[in-house]
Amino acid sequence: MSLNAEPSLMPLPAKYTFGSGRLAITENFNLSLSGQIDPRLHDTITRFIERLSRQTGITFPVNSRLPVTLAINCNSIGKEWPALGDDESYTLIVDAQQARLNAPTTLGVLHGLETILQLVQQDERGFAIPAVNIDDRPRFPWRGLMLDVCRHWMPIDVVKRTLDGMAAVKLNVFHWHLSEDQGFRIESKRFPKLHERGSDGHYFTRAQVREVIQYARDRGIRVVPEFDMPGHATSWLVGYPELGTDPGPYQIERHWGIFDPAMDPTKESTYRFLDAFIGEMAALFPDEYFHIGGDELNGKQWSASAHVQAFLKQHGLKDNQELHRYFNTRLHAIVHKHGKRMEGWDEILDPALPKSIVIQSWRGQKSLNEAARQGYSGLLSAGYYLDLMQSTEFHYLNDPLDEESAALTPEQRSRILGGEMCMWTEFVTTMNVDQRIWPRAAAIAERLWSPQSVRDVRSMYARLARISRHLETTANLVHRQAYRMMLERLAGADPVEPVRVLADIVEPVKLYTRGDTRDYTSWSAYNRMVDAAHPESDAGREFRYAVEARDWTTVRNTLTTWRDNGADVRRTLESHALLTETIPVSENLTKVAVIGLQALDAIEGKQPLPAGWNASEVLNTAKKPVAELLLMAVPGVEALVSQASGTAK
Ligand code: ACM
């Protein structure tokens, strides 16, 4: 029997062919390193062996004289720090005797080792890697993940395991959103009141920042810091109100949204401050790129300020947009002086800025194409917002080179460097951050790495289910465990299983609707079912697939479980304060399941539809969000009902 290994790979390699046969992984496993050996590879290899050992339960001997089962060759060490455009390619050839991993630089070795770990499988004979021939390289050079550590504090262990997950799926840029209205999250030696007054004590020390950068480098990941200005900057102004347009005083913002405080672009002292601050940060972060934010400036403080309005007149500036351009131009000179390239959100796109900047497009793909047309490099983030609770399929099919980009010249297209997913953390805590990012991030990683033609959604989901486990077992993530733990907390001493059945078939409300019915702040608890529920319900999707496939056994079993769950879970929901709000959701689930079973009986010819049967009232009610939850049993049952109605005709 040969192993079927494709289902375990994500991202899929650029080119691969599976052979027959398998390379057994036994206690005789032995590896060799040749060529140019980057010292960081020793640590990588040690971790690789530990992870392989954890996966297989095999203890591997050290310094063995056994024949080499994994021969690694690296042609050059590459640059000290990973950089945009590095050669990340590798080849991996596996036959029954040996695996040979070859790479031009250390980065390819890192990626190839992750591929090997994904390929390891177990069958009745033990653990093995299937025979395969892989020739792999990324489609886009910039494959990022942005983590907001400000709205909710995300300590260093969260950052590190995020980096572990990123490395496992070959992402290569960690965009660290370090300042916001709600928190200034990095120690500044030069301006200590930034972190002392602006962070509630939750910030990264400079030593921790160095540690993270090193940790990322060891995994082939660049670290790009973001300091958001001139808006989204309240936390800076708590310690340094003189940086603000109004005299203050300012307080750390506790709510979510867009707020008025903005830096004062008219004072020379603002630029002296930013020069010193950016100088300090530019020395700390080795990456060439430096993100200055620039998004969502509402301009209210500027418009209401007499001295800002006088400045506009004096400088012949028409409006706030021109003033923002002026600010960005000054900022660009500072960033450039400190040896960095400036990056910013869509809003900074302006012909006044040099073409060396990078535009991160979050408002839509149009602005990315427009930037490329104007000669700017860009990244796609629109469609990759993990906080909006959209399906993996939605993110997966969102391509940085969309249909409209076909109208771009090849040169313009080459300016689209890739994409970055964004994890904004208004509604995300250390408890659920992993499951908000993973496993969806793995599918986006595939979009950014694999050939554009790789877009089979069913294949993606089948592989994602395996990769999701892999990310926990070998990459330190806790996205599946945390779900269980949050549900156990909700259930108190009661059995968690019936609560899980309910939680499995709901999803949090989508887009920016969370908070429409409640006033959330940074003090809120975020410990309800909506916080535990996965962004996408696998149970709901699998049910839909089963209906489409007319797999009536699965459909009936699922509907029966859902129908009966109402009675199973009722007492727990009634007797736990955090769960009472979900009682109507559970009731809807039972009703929807009953409708589904009636439809199925009709389809299977067991029982005709009851006279005057009307499914739509139940289904329409069940579609409405309750407790900020969507009941994902509905779409599949709707499909079933339409089949049944067809049968009835
Ligand atoms: C953003 O979402 N304001 C970049």
Alpha carbon nearest to ligand 1 atom 3, residue: 295
Which letter does DSSP use for residue 282 in this model? H
- Which long-range CB contacts under 8 A does 309-313 form with residues at least 24 apart? 311/265, 311/266
* Ligand 1 in reach of 384 Cβ (< 6 A): no
* Ligand 1 in reach of 295 Cβ (< 6 A): yes
Q: 56 pLDDT exceeds 80?
A: yes
Distance of CA 528 to the CA centre of its chain: 22
Ligand 1 atom nearest residue 295's Cα: 3
In three-state form (DSSP H/G/I as H, E/B as E, the rest C), the secondary structure along 1-32 is: CCCCCHHHCCCCCCEEEEEEEEEEECCCCCEE
- Please provide residue 296's backbone torsions phi and psi, each rounded to the nearest 5 degrees: 50, 45
pLDDT, tens digit, 9 for 90 and up, residues 301-313: 999 999 999 999 9
Averaged over 248-264, what is the pLDDT? 97
Average the pLDDT over each of 5-14, 56-65, 357-366 and give the range with the smallest value. Answer: 56-65
Question: What's the chain's length in residues?
Answer: 649
pLDDT, tens digit, 9 for 90 and up, residues 317-326: 999 999 999 9
Q: 264 pLDDT exceeds 70?
A: yes
Given 196, 288, 296, 488, the catalytic residue: 296
CA of 296 to the centre of ligand 1 (A): 7
Q: 335 pLDDT exceeds 80?
A: yes
Greatest alpha-carbon span in the chain: 83
Averaged over 103-112, what is the pLDDT? 97
* Ligand 1 in reach of 204 Cβ (< 6 A): no
Ligand 1 atom nearest residue 422's Cα: 2
pLDDT computed for residue 647 by the predictor = 60
Q: 3 pLDDT exceeds 70?
A: no
Q: pLDDT band for position 161 (50/70/90)?
A: very high
Ligand 1 atom nearest residue 296's Cα: 3
625 to each of 363, 387, 432, 498, 622, how far by Cα in Å?
26, 18, 21, 21, 8
* Ligand 1 in reach of 345 Cβ (< 6 A): yes
Averaged over 97-123, what is the pLDDT? 96
Q: Are 346 and 328 in contact (CB under 8 A)?
A: no
Q: Cα(236)–Cα(191) distance, rounded to whole angstroms?
A: 10
pLDDT, tens digit, 9 for 90 and up, residues 471-488: 999 999 999 999 999 999
Q: Cα(613)–Cα(471) distance, rounded to whole angstroms?
A: 46
Averaged pLDDT of the chain: 95
Q: Cα(418)–Cα(11) distance, rounded to whole angstroms?
A: 15
Q: 649 pLDDT exceeds 70?
A: no
* Ligand 1 in reach of 38 Cβ (< 6 A): no
Radius of gyration of the chain (CA): 27
Confirm whether 296 is a catalytic residue.
yes
Q: pTM for this structure?
A: 0.97
Alpha carbon nearest to ligand 1 atom 2, residue: 362
pLDDT computed for residue 645 by the predictor = 86
Ligand 1 pocket: which of 424, 427, 511 to mutate (most atoms <8 Å of CB)?
424
CA of 89 to the centre of ligand 1 (A): 32
pLDDT, tens digit, 9 for 90 and up, residues 546-604: 999 999 999 999 999 999 999 999 999 999 999 999 999 999 999 999 999 999 999 99
Averaged over 361-385, what is the pLDDT? 95
Of residues 515 and 215, more confidently modeled: 215
Q: pLDDT band for position 406 (50/70/90)?
A: confident
pLDDT, tens digit, 9 for 90 and up, residues 83-96: 999 999 999 999 99
b/e map of 341-371 (b: 16 or more CB within 10 Å)?
Answer: bbbbbbbbbbeebeeebbbbbbeebebbbbb
pLDDT computed for residue 1 by the predictor = 41
pLDDT, tens digit, 9 for 90 and up, residues 620-647: 999 999 999 999 999 999 999 999 988 6
